[in-house]
Structure 1
Amino acid sequence: MNKLLGSSLAACIVLSGCAATIAPKVDVVEPTQARPSPQAYVPANNGAIFQGAGYRPLYENPRARMVGDVITIVISESISAKQENTSTIEKKASLDASISALPLMNATQLAKLGATGSNNNKFDGTGKTSATNTFTGTITTTVVEVLPNGHLIVSGEKQIGVGQNVDILRFSGQVDPNTIQPGNSVTSTQVANVRVEQTGRGAKHDVQGIGWLARFFLSISPF
């Protein structure tokens, strides 16, 4: 019984590790949508027209500033990196030794006792790495939290289904209200702590990935 339990536990650990390797998750702020807390209607008892609990100025700036407001994020991310390394190491050494005189030995015999040696080590190494990534798109997010300094935590999700395939785009980040453009839009380059995830479900995405068992063996293969 103990052996069976141990085997089951080991299998669960392996499968959980495989699952984490197969589908790495980006830490997008959850939930990806928010609504203002419902306010119960309480009739005014003071007889005044102005009620602070539900007040929102009629002529206020329409810029997003409250939980539940929407902000359009224009995703324009471009990352390019390049690195080149060149190394050259050369070391030379030589040794030449001879004996000029020894008792009871003539010049011919002394010549055979001479020693000569040389050493030459040389290493040349060259390395080059480059990467370029571009991500563009548009997604409308919801303000899910307002920080004490007035910055807005936004998060949103977009799902597009065509046939049997679903494309999913998720975004979250911290927006400074001063960077919001007319129409409540802001570029992703002006958003802090950006988290962008583009994934999908369906046959199209399944055929583009490696099976979980093959991925597991690739992860433990030393070659």
Structure 2
Amino acid sequence: MKRLSVISILALAALSLAGCNTAPKRDPAYAPIRPVAIPTPVQSNGAIYQAGYEHSWFEDMRARRVGDMLTIKLVEKTDASKTAATSVDKSNSTTITNPTILGSTPQFDTPSIIPLASNSDNNLGMNLSSSSSFAGSGDSAQSNNLTGDITVSVVEVMPNGYLLVRGEKRIGINQGNEYIKVSGIVRPADIDSTNTVLSTKLADPTLIYVGDGAVAESNTMGWLSRFFISALFPF
């Protein structure tokens, strides 16, 4: 019994230590790419300046090569609304008159064990009617706003000169982590003089803003609640 208590205490201590580890995790899909290494020049050639080590003081500093950095200004804002209304009414009525057989209208007497409606004579006429109605309405509205800055790196220069960029920002705050992931294609003409481009100028963009930790878990519906609103629960 004492050994079991020691094992339980050690397990709880391990869980508490694991809960303290809130360091953000890297996503390899958004990892930056390293620029191409500059080849080492041949030494002792007698020249003052060595090839590959020059620095252009008047060149354009905007991103254009693999490994260059580019700042993306997030200015995303979406608003959507949808309203739907449906109304269906349906009614049917069918009447079958008493047939005439060999020139006479058949009638029969109701047995005494069946309660009589109005008289003791009945015929084969029938009257069927049914009606149904359905009314439904729905209203949906959604609004999202994402602002901020994130610096990404150029991972590929396409044949037409466009830049494929991607990057990730990881922020650990108290008991949770925030992740901002961006990828897309940038046209060099859309990059301004400060080496910045708007997120609305990205082609084929992927913008992800997610979080984990205690705050994110408090806003997540439990598995039992999700079961009662899922398609597996028909009632």
Q: Do these two structures clear the TM 0.5 threshold for a shared fold by scoring above it?
A: yes
Deviations 1:141-198 (A, max 9, x none): 1112211111111122223334454333222211111111220111111101222222
Are 2:182 and 2:208, in contact at CA under 8 Å, matched by a contact in 1? yes
Partner residue in 2 for 1:175: 186
- CA pair 162-97 structure 1, distance change in 2 beyond 3 A: closer
Are 2:99 and 2:105, in contact at CA under 8 Å, matched by a contact in 1? no
Please state how far the C-alpha of 1:76 moved relative to its aligned partner. Answer: 1.7
Residue identity opposite 1:190 in structure 2: K
Partner residue in 2 for 1:192: 203
- CA pair 206-182 structure 1, distance change in 2 beyond 3 A: same
RMSD, aligned α-carbons: 3.8
Question: Structure 2 length normalisation: TM-score?
Answer: 0.64
Partner residue in 2 for 1:61: 60
Partner residue in 1 for 2:150: 139
Question: Structure 1 length normalisation: TM-score?
Answer: 0.66
What is the aligned-residue identity percentage?
Answer: 30
Please state how far the C-alpha of 1:218 moved relative to its aligned partner. Answer: 3.8
Partner residue in 2 for 1:36: 35
1:1-223 counterparts in 2 under 5 A?
Answer: 29-31=29-31, 33-43=32-42, 51=51, 57-99=56-98, 102=101, 112-209=123-220, 214=223, 218=227, 222-223=232-233
Query: Gaps (5+ residues) in structure 1?
Result: 1-26
Are 1:65 and 1:152, in contact at CA under 8 Å, matched by a contact in 2? yes
- CA pair 49-96 structure 1, distance change in 2 beyond 3 A: same
Please state how far the C-alpha of 1:134 moved relative to its aligned partner. Answer: 2.1
Query: Gaps (5+ residues) in structure 2?
Result: 1-26, 109-120
Partner residue in 1 for 2:19: none
Return the alpha-carbon distance in structure 2 between the equivalents of residues 113 and 163 of structure 1: 83
- CA pair 67-46 structure 1, distance change in 2 beyond 3 A: farther
